[in-house]
Structure 1
């Protein structure tokens, strides 16, 4: 952990200016902000767990210093990157589907009826 930073005090700090709003309902913005913050924390935990597992596989023991000093090699970094991309894709799936729906709205039902009834 970074020495000298009071993370509890920092968490209560306010950003300058107005908070950006993406939805009509402010509670939704807060909910999504909270969800993404939790997802970020879980992602960091997943990387740390990967470090612990790799260190145990190679050395059989653990020391906090080893965990803090660990730097993945290229293969491990690529594995982690792929795992993180898949994790983010799962989390953002609902958002992505909404964006796709806005870009490609379903045609009116009568268009479908006409397409299905025309040989």
Structure 2
């Protein structure tokens, strides 16, 4: 079975989703920003590693990087990656939309209320 990153980006974790803020919209924005921050941090660390290794070995210069133009196939691959990236960032929005179409599942708000009552 092949791995489908778009399908996996929207996979819902088991259990009840914790909510930390009273305002649902603020919570959604926080989740999106934190997903983006995680992606950026990992990317920055990997990019720093690659640049340091290339510079240390005299392979390419900063000018080479700035002047690079991707081929059509490379541009298409980057476009596909961008779609997967956006799907991961907007995962919470997708899950909320799915919750509307699947009303039989327990909502995060109901789970939080149940937790507070017990």
Bigger relative contact order (CA 8 A; separation at least 6): 2
Question: TM over 0.5: same fold?
Answer: no
What TM-score results when the alignment is normalised by the length of structure 1?
A: 0.44
What TM-score results when the alignment is normalised by the length of structure 2?
A: 0.45
Larger radius of gyration: 1
